[in-house]
Amino acid sequence: MTVILVYHSKQNLFILVYHSKHMETKERLKRVLIEWRERGLPKVKKRDINIDIFLESDHIVDIVGVRRSGKTYLMFLMIKELFKRGYNKRNVIYVNFEDRRLYPLTANMLDALLDEIYVSLSEENKVFLFLDEIQNVPGWEKWARNIYDYYKGRVKLFVSGSTSKILAPEASTLLTGRHLSIKLLPLSFREFLYFKGLKVSLEEARYSDFKRAKVVEYFNEYLQYGGLPEVVLAGSSELKMEILKAYYEDILYKDIVDRYGIREIHVLENFLKYLFLNIARYFSYKRVAKYFSSIGISTSTRTLLRYTSILEEIFLFFFVPIYSKKVRNQLKYPRKIYAVDTGLRNVIAASLEDKGKILENIVFLELKRRSLRNPALTINYWKDRRGREVDFIVREFDSVKELIQVTWSLTYENKERELKALIKCMDEFKVDKGTIITSDLKEKIVVGNKVVECVPAYEWLLGNFRKTPMLTEP
């Protein structure tokens, strides 16, 4: 509470004025919570995530991912499931900390939220607390830990964020053993089809001409516009592009420039353009420096290192290292660049000329989803001294699970090169099966005692879920 001494000229005396910042904060929060309780929930669609295990655990659940990947709607999906189980808005509290009515955000905001928890717990046995974009509130980690330790079993906490700072060392240390993470990527192709209203099995995609034609049509759309939910549901191609442009601007200015205090915006813009144009290619600071020199921009490796760290932190880009048993080699050789969404890439590049690289990016994202479901999986690329390369080597601990080449089409010109690299890699790891993913080719190639399966991309993407029942409406 702040005490202000004010001079009243007419009465010729000093008046003490009491002002409580906490009360101001509480009033702002109250307005937001009243609106939450009065409004209905938007229509939501299921994701390929088993939300039951997160609802039933007492752990704090953190949901992280790139802006507009569906974190808020995943929270709404969980809330709807809680309503089905008999809970209501006395039990369930939702706050979005990007709501401008709550600004400026201070630790007092969370203290004010405690009052709401007290009231709810006096009426109900359990409270579910959903806090969206929590990283905007200073000191949230200690507050969350205190809530968990003091109210375990009575207050269940869900938090989300558009940056990996929510999982930064300080937060992880404070929340060790107390939290479960959901790292959310844009829609998989299977989820994309579900959002489009197309229910199709792998067998139907293979043997039904009608279903296969529809799947191929949607796959081409997925290739061009990506899997960000609002873009997928948008009607026209013009609207999709406008939404993607708006997303890109928000990511650039809100998530990077404003949040990290970037001053050399022109350097950042050109760096982003370089990365989007070079997805599925090698990344090295020497190459980037050469690019900047060619367009007349001077920058430092230190600046580029900082930008790279930020882009990984906000989940916009991933950098895949070469496979090597020696950590020194992984640091020595260039990494490969992959973007979180091909739609964002195509807004910047405005071209689908290199469909093979875009397809490789889509395959990477699918492998990344699998590694998020199974942390024992690691993804690398493989390359030998003669320059032969395999796009992906997927291992579970030390066991090789898949060797994958990606090419838009397998032609007379590239078939020998792709096969030789894959066979050599299979020899090194002593496996007898490899995969080549293309746009449409289905073929089995036998080389000695080794089998190479050529699979259409849409079929491989659907086939990743052979043991999972198809999505149904919530």
Distance CA 441, CA 407 (A): 10
470 phi and psi angles, rounded to 5 deg: -65, 150
- What's the token pair of residue 185? 């990527």
Whether the Cβ atoms of residue 70 and residue 44 lie closer than 8 Å to each other: no
Supply 463's token pair: 């086939």
Mean pLDDT of 176-187: 86
Query: How crowded is residue 469: how many other Cβ atoms within 10 Å of its Cβ?
Result: 6
pLDDT digits (tens, 9 = 90+) for 86-133: 998 888 999 999 888 888 888 788 888 888 888 888 777 789 999 998
Range with the poorest average pLDDT among 8-22, 178-192, 234-248, 321-335: 8-22
SS3 416: helix
pLDDT of residue 393: 97
Helix (H) or strand (E) holding 208, with range, is none
Q: Positive or negative CA dihedral for 271, 274, 280, 284?
A: negative
Residue 83's Cβ-count burial label (10 Å; 0-12, 13-18, 19+) is: middle
- Tens digit of each residue's pLDDT (9 = 90 or more) over 351-375: 667 899 999 999 999 999 999 999 9
Give residue 384's pLDDT.
Answer: 92
Identify the three-state secondary structure at position 390: strand
Q: What is the DSSP string of 139-200?
A: THHHHHHHHHHHHTTTEEEEEEESSGGGGSHHHHHHHTTTEEEEEEPSPPHHHHHHHTT---
Q: Tell which residue, 347, 172, 221, has the closest CA to residue 277.
A: 347
Take residue 375 and report the two structure tokens written for it.
């942390």
Percentage of the chain with pLDDT > 90?
62
The strand pairing partners of 436, in sequence order, are 405, 454
| Whether residue 214 has pLDDT greater than 50 | yes
- The token pair at 439 is 């746009």
- In this prediction, residue 185 has a pLDDT band, given cuts at 50, 70 and 90, of very high
H or E stretch covering 439: none
Three-class secondary structure of residue 220 per DSSP = helix
Domains of the chain listed by start with CATH number:
21-184 (3.40.50.300), 354-474 (no CATH)
Q: The pTM is what?
A: 0.89
